[in-house]
Amino acid sequence: MPQEQKPKPNPTEAKSKLHSRNRHKQRYNFKLLIEENPALKKHVAINKYGSETIDFFNSEAVKLLNQALLKKDYGIDHWDIPLDYLCPPVPGRADYIHHIADLLGSDDDDQIPRGPRVKALDIGTGANCIYPIIGTVEYDWNFAAADINPKSIQIATAITKANKLGVDVRLQPNPSNIFKGIIGPDEHFDITTCNPPFHASAEEAVSANMRKVKSLTKGKATDSQGNKPTNAVSFGGQHTELWCVGGELRFVRDMIKESALFKKNVLWFSTLVSKQGNLKDIYEALRAVNAQQVKTIDMGQGNKSSRIVAWSYHTANRRKLWRQENQK
């Protein structure tokens, strides 16, 4: 189970919690990042530790940092999303990909799977398409990516085509469905990924953001590098990225229920779970669909703790045979 929250570490300690293969374990080299994206320079300042950083509560600064990181570390020359779309931190998203690579490897004598025969599906990819980008570059996996927002699909498609990533971006035509309408009857995926909507309503999302703003303006919060915000605060994200009826728990339970219809098509299903308090109900839902294997993978970046919940309908022996049968 997730570990108890500890006092806020310094930035170096926070970075050390990242996966061993994560390219972002060390502090950001802003000199190199600014060379990749000169527009980032105006947002770089010195924090209380005497190190260069940015205001992580400023959406423009985070977007420019993401562009620089993706270009420097992943060779992504084109990555541009509107400021009102979710702009996720690259290190944390990379951690998810590395952990699920380990998960897949655990079924194959801990051999990390690489190459296009590994097929992955990202649910709710958003305009940023970050999981497919990292999974494709790091492991050369064959990614499909789905979303219910046509504009997000348009932006994600433009990004993947401009960078020649070969990601199969798909529009989910029915917002009530998750896998239905996306996974074909004869398709097989080794892994599905998802960063589900966090909030249960638009009002809840707005209220949460207002609490952040109030806390920031009173000087009670700092960013992940130890800074108080210095610029105007902007929390990006379309409503489909931030909230859905019932919030994270409802979405994940619906995903689990629908996953049972595709037990023969998918080796491992997985999702990020941000709220530890949701785990009990999620495990109960997994028991209800008779998942054969459930794994919880703890992750931690700085002050924030999160986890991946993964489940499979296949026994251990059956999972070992999967590669032979579905990756020819």
Q: What is the pLDDT of residue 198?
A: 63
List, in sequence order, every residue forming a beta bridge with 170; answer none if it has no partner: 146
pLDDT tens across 188-242, in order?
999 999 999 863 444 444 444 444 444 444 444 444 444 444 433 334 444 444 4
Q: Please report the domains of the chain, with CATH numbers, ordered by start residue.
A: 11-326 (3.40.50.150)
CA atoms of 24 and 41, how far apart (whole Å): 19
Q: Which residue has the higher pLDDT, 86 or 15?
A: 86
Q: What is the per-residue pLDDT for 153?
A: 98
| 56 — pLDDT class (breaks 50, 70, 90) | confident
Residue 87 · residue 66 · CB < 8 Å: yes
pLDDT in tens, 179-192: 999 999 999 999 99
pLDDT at 5 over 50: no
pTM exceeds cut of 0.75 = yes
